[in-house]
Structure 1
Amino acid sequence: MRRQLDEHDEAIIAELRDDGRVPIRELAQRVGLTEATVRARIRRLEESDSMRIVAKLDLGSMGYPFTGLLGLKIRGRTIDEVANDLVDIPGVISVLSVIGRNDLEIQVIARDMAALNLLVTQTIPQIDGVIGVEAALAMNIVKYVQPWGRFE
C-alpha cells in the first residue's frame, strides 16, 4: 500500500536521488529531521513500495558511449509480441509502447558506432513485424533521470 508523501518524504527522496549513498546523519541534517526520524521514514517509504534505493550505471563509464533512440512501426504482429522480442536483445535498454507516429520507442546503447549500426540496420529491422525504423543518435545527454516521486 502506497502512502501519501509529505514535504519531508519528498525532501528525503530528492536528497537520495542526488546521492543514494549519503550517510543518514548528513541526510538528516540536510532535511532538518533527526536521524531516527529519517531512518523510520526511509523504512516506511521502502515498505510501502513508495521508494526504492537502487544503483544507476553510468553508461559512458561502463563502455557504452553511444545511445540511439529508435521509433518502430509494427505490422503483422502485436506490439507486445515485438516488444517481447526486443527485450531479449543485448543493448536494448528500454522499450515503450507509445501513441503517435510510431508504435514502439526504444533506447539502445553500444560500445562503438559499428555495434550501433548493426543494431539499427540489421538486428532490429529483422525482427518479424518491424516494418520501419526511425533512428536518432544522442549527441549529448543533457538530462537523464528517473523522476520517481510525486506525480500530482
Structure 2
Amino acid sequence: MQELDPTDRRLIAELRSDGRAPMAQLASRIGISRATAEKRVARMVENGTILGFTVRARDETSSIRAVMMIEVAGRATSAVIRNLKEIPELHTLHTTNGGWDLIAELRADSLGDFDRVLREVRLIDGVLNSETSLLLSSA
C-alpha cells in the first residue's frame, strides 16, 4: 500500500463524511481538480487503500447497542468471523490483541432480539467466551 499524502488523507476524510458527493464537489472542497480527485480515488481503490464504499444509516433512537468481546478457540478465528458476519445485528467486527480475540458492535431493535443475538454468537463453534456491555449513552 502506498503512503498517503495530505491531499489523499483529506480526500478520504471527505469521502467518509459524504461518500455520495459528486467528485467535482469533493475536489472543490479540498482545492484540487475533479480529474485529479478521480485519479487519486481510482489509485487508492486499485492499490487497496480504499477497500470499498458503504452506506451509513441513521441509528434508530430506540435501538439497543452493545459491545461484545469474544474469545476464540485456537485457530478458529477465520471460521468464527465468517459465522459472525452472517448475523445482521453485528454492525462492526474487529480483531484485537489482549484477553479478547474479537470485538463486535451489536445493534438490536428489542431486548428479545438482543438476547437472541447473544445466544447465536455463543453457539458458534470456536467461541469460548464472551462479555457484553450495553452502550447507555454517548458523550
Give the shorter-chain TM-score range. 0.7 to 0.9
Structure 2 runs not aligned, ≥5 long: none
Choose 2-11 or 125-134, whichever is displaced more: 125-134
Choose 75-84 or 108-117, whichever is displaced more: 75-84
Report the Cα distance in structure 2 between the residues aligned to 1:5 and 1:56, rounded to whole angstroms. 24
> Structure 1 residues 64 and 48 mapped into 2: Cα distance closer, same or farther (>3 Å)?
farther
Deviation by residue 1:23-71 (Cα, 9 ceiling, x = unmatched): 233222221122222222222222222225512232625x982222112
Structure 1 runs not aligned, ≥5 long: 143-152
Does the 8 Å contact 1:68/1:138 carry over to 2?
yes
1:102-121 to 2 correspondences below 5 Å? 102-120=100-118
| TM value normalised by structure 1 | 0.69
Deviation by residue 1:89-141 (Cα, 9 ceiling, x = unmatched): 34233444433233432222212121102222x33333345443311112235
Letter in 2 for 1:137: L
> Structure 1 residues 59 and 112 mapped into 2: Cα distance closer, same or farther (>3 Å)?
farther
- Aligned twin of 2:22: 23
Report the Cα distance in structure 2 between the residues aligned to 1:64 and 1:52, rounded to whole angstroms. 31
- Aligned twin of 2:121: 124
- Aligned twin of 1:40: 39
| TM value normalised by structure 2 | 0.74
> Structure 1 residues 141 and 54 mapped into 2: Cα distance closer, same or farther (>3 Å)?
farther
Q: Kindly name which structure, 1 or 2, has the bigger radius of gyration based on alpha carbons.
A: 1
- Aligned twin of 2:53: 54
Q: Would you say how many aligned residue pairs link Structure 1 and Structure 2?
A: 139
Structure having the higher helix fraction is 2
The answer on 1:140 being equivalent to 2:117 is no
Letter in 1 for 2:135: A
Report the Cα distance in structure 1 between the residues aligned to 2:120 and 2:91, rounded to whole angstroms. 15
Report the Cα distance in structure 1 between the residues aligned to 2:72 and 2:23, rounded to whole angstroms. 48
Report the Cα distance in structure 2 between the residues aligned to 1:115 and 1:77, rounded to whole angstroms. 29
Shift of 1:8: 1.6
